[in-house]
A and B are shown apart, each in its own frame.
Chain A
Amino acid sequence: MHVCQRCVSLLLSRPLSAAGQQSTRALHQRSHLILLQHSTRQPPVHRLSQGHSRETWRHFTDHQAASPDVSNKTDLTQKEVVPLNSDVHQISSQVTLSDSQSIDLDVAVRASPLQEVSEEEAVQIQVPSALPPESSTLRPYVDKSETLSKLVQLGVNLWELEQRPNVGSMLVRLDFHADVAPRLLFLKDLGVEESKLGRLLTKNPFILTESLDNLEARVSYLKSKKFSKQSVAVMVTKAPYLLNFSVERLDNRLGFFQKQLGLSAEKTRDVVTRLPKLLCGSLEPIKENLKVCELEFGFRGNEMQHIVTTVPKVLIANKRKLTQIFDFIHNTMDVPHSLIAKFPQVLNAKFLRIRERHLFLEYLGRAQYQPSQPNYISLDRLVFLPDDVFCSEVALATLEDFERFQKTL
């Protein structure tokens, strides 16, 4: 079907109420207009903040499209139906022109829609996609938006991101070539693997809105503190929010760890590389944990250093659970501080596991945790072996016995 560009513009200029009052003459003229979803080879940048007039026009033409006139397609060689559409920029200019003119309702349509348009022109006119202006999920926008489809191909979990408030609309408004691509290239230069990019962006989509200068400044700061390129990449992968923090904040935290723990620069770097979340979160819980270890548990300075360098997770562990585990190990299992400091991994384990296994060993009479005595069982073997290996090697009993014992606790 042949469509007139000018009639399209005139349609746009009318508000819905006037369009509803269109005379039957106009309706008859447009009866053979057919709307079809046209694949957008050059997808328009999807912006949700379009004006109301476009929306009303779309509604109107949707209404028209509901009654297609199939018989008029016969003169086409291919099975193509020319869509009714408009180019964004063209329309905006035409709207302003027609707005400036006075619209005379009697002379509603100057040009007939039967005016022929060449096929190249017909193919080039694009359909603005009939997308809802608001939606609670990103599903309707994924196919149309280049940003979103590329993100899905990278492996970003859009469903998880759209649960967070405002993140979905932020992502839809991003432009792939201007915003997303430079930052992805930056991350790739940094050494982040491509397979990890999806997870990183799922955890921290705001890296796409951080300015590139800031990102580069922070990376150069880390490198100036003698973090190797590889360790910076590993840190960014493990803690996706790392590069969103300012240089002062990173500096503050690194200084705190070095001073408080009394570690050398090399060891601080090692600890931070293994657990970069330390640089992201607030310092108050870490200070509390350190106080708890020092005062409540009674660990000395050098024991503390050893524990933190072996198991940095102790610094951000839950205080109550840590206290519960330590209480059980020290008071019920009678393990001295020195032994716990030697095997700090027990502080990281699950309390129920330690409790069940210890009680089982006690029931069997094999609960020997002093290295000087025979049949000594080291704490890490107590905790880290899987159940069947534990039963066969440490407890010298069968798995069924262990289960039966568990049911008596």
Chain B
Amino acid sequence: MDGLFAVYKPQGVHWKHVRDSIESNLLKALNSCPPPAPQLAVQFQLLSSGENSSSSKDLALSPTMVPTLADHPLVTGPQFHKVHVGVGHRLDAFSSGVLVLGVGKGNGVVKVCYILYDYTLEGEFGKATDNFTDTGRVIEKTTYNHVTQDKLERVLAMIQGANQKALITYSQVDLRTQEAYELAVRGLLYPLGKSPPILMGLRCIHFNPPHFSLEVQCVNETQKYLRKLIHEVGLELRTCAVCSGVRRTRDGPFKVENALTRQYWTADSIIQAIAHFHKTTRRIRKSGMYRQTAGQMNSRAEVQEQIRSQTGQSEQINRDEFSSSASDTVVDRETPVTMSEGRTKPC
């Protein structure tokens, strides 16, 4: 029962509660197994032979094996006290979505670096609060009638441009070389080492004012950064916006379809999920992607291989989701090919 599996964390719940409830469910299942047989101890029991009335009685002591009470489950307690369940990349209480957990030996692999996360951000124009969410204290209210989808797309493109520049800087490639250009064309650039949050892909899914939703692919992010992003989008549009939901739809190879909802947080379903992801876990372990120290950098080839495999998996889905915004105009770029490639192939 060692490995990784994904769980859908509901909104409003701290990730620790999720981890604790899964651990207690697993412990319950483990402790319900029948306990080992109690040890037997030798006891000498006195049998008096009744018919002898003579002075020298034959005292017969017969040895019998009697189970000791010291091994009784009520005295020893439950067999298992702890199951090591670790969390990969945390989600704060406001967000929901895919949360990867590791059990036993899977804990060594659970903090995988060099992977991408997909988020769906829901936003609302017209308000600004102190903690960038719609449950906070309202600071400002503005009108949003002037906001159109076109303007929103333009702002998103501008943000993505800035992020692409950051990506090139942090991936430490010299874009004047042919190899670097080819990597960029195929969308295999990746920040090595420590970097601030970088968005690899950003697009608008729904727009009906005041509500809108964005899809983001990012690296090294925190959920607060994403909420702040919504706020900044609002500022760029000369209005203000709050985030009403952050939902992680993908955490590396673990997608929403594979995540377990609350009624399935039982030992059987978890074991099934771990078996399902067994190959993926082994691949991650072999590729050595889980080294936590940012200083140790794997070779670029390994990183690209990882991204390529993920891209291959996600490409189909992205192609389906890609509706109208793919063909939108790309404004003022230095290297238009790179940018559009970067948008069509989110990696």
Q: Which residues of B contact A (CB under 8 A)?
A: 8, 10-13, 41, 43-46, 56-57, 59-61, 63, 68-70, 72, 74-78, 96, 247, 256, 259, 261-263
A41 touching B75 in the complex, CB below 8 Å, given contacts A123-B61, A152-B69, A407-B259: no
Cα of A351 to Cα of B57 in the assembled complex, Å: 76
- Cβ–Cβ contact A78 & B61, under 8 A: yes
A-B contact pairs, 8 of them (CB 8 A): A119-B56, A120-B59, A142-B69, A158-B74, A158-B75, A356-B10, A406-B8, A407-B8
Shortest Cβ distance from A408 into B: residue: B247
Contact A409/B10 with A119-B59, A152-B72, A158-B75 known, Cβ cut-off 8 Å:
yes
Segment 30-53 of A: residues with Cβ below 8 Å from B: 38-39, 41
Given contacts A152-B75, A403-B261, whether A140 and B59 have CB atoms under 8 Å apart is no
By the criterion CB–CB under 8 Å, are B74 and A409 in contact?
no
Is the CB of A159 closer than 8 A to any CB of chain B?
A: yes
- Determine which of B11, B74, B262 lies in contact with A152 in the assembled complex, contact meaning CB atoms within 8 Å: B74
Closest residue of chain B to A403 (Cβ to Cβ) is: B261
Q: How far is the CB of A396 from chain B (nearest CB, A)?
A: 19
- Told that A39-B44, A123-B59, A159-B76 touch, could you supply 16 new A-B pairs with CB distance under 8 A? A78-B60, A119-B59, A120-B57, A143-B68, A143-B70, A148-B69, A149-B69, A152-B72, A158-B74, A159-B78, A160-B77, A352-B12, A352-B262, A403-B261, A407-B256, A409-B11
Q: Shortest CB–CB separation between residue A258 and chain B, in angstroms?
A: 39
Does A292 make an interface contact (CB < 8 A)? no
B8, B70, B259 — which one has the most chain A CB atoms within 10 A of its CB?
B70
Q: A38 touching B69 by the CB < 8 A rule?
A: no
Residues from chain B with Cβ under 8 Å of A408 in the complex: 247
Interface centre among B56, B69, B72 (most CB of A within 10 A): B69
Closest 8 CB pairs of A and B: A159-B77, A39-B43, A139-B70, A142-B69, A158-B75, A406-B261, A157-B74, A39-B44
Kindly provide the distance from the CB of A407 to the nearest chain B CB, expressed in whole angstroms. 5
Q: Once the chains bind, are B261 and A142 in contact (CB under 8 Å)?
A: no
Which residues of A are at the interface with B, using a C-beta cutoff of 8 A?
Answer: 38-39, 41, 78-80, 119-120, 123, 137-140, 142-143, 148-149, 152, 155-160, 351-352, 356, 387, 403, 406-409
**Alpha-carbon separation in the docked complex, A154 to B64 (Å):** 24
Distance in Å: Cβ of B81 to nearest Cβ of chain A? 11
Interface centre among B43, B44, B59, B261 (most CB of A within 10 A): B44
Residues of B near A157 (CB, < 8 A) are: 74
In the assembled complex, the CB of B35 is this many whole angstroms from the nearest CB of chain A, namely: 12
Q: How far is the CA of A126 from the CA of B72 in the complex (A)?
A: 26
Distance from B296 Cβ to chain A, minimum over Cβ atoms (Å): 35
Q: Which residue of A lies closest to B67 (CB)?
A: A143
In the complex, residue of chain A having the shortest beta-carbon distance to the beta carbon of B62: A78
Contacts of A409 in B (CB 8 A): 10-11, 96, 247
Contact B77 A39 (CB under 8 A): no
Chain A residues closer than 8 Å to B13, beta-carbon distance? 352
Considering the chains assembled together, what is the distance between the CA atoms of A160 and B75 in angstroms? 8
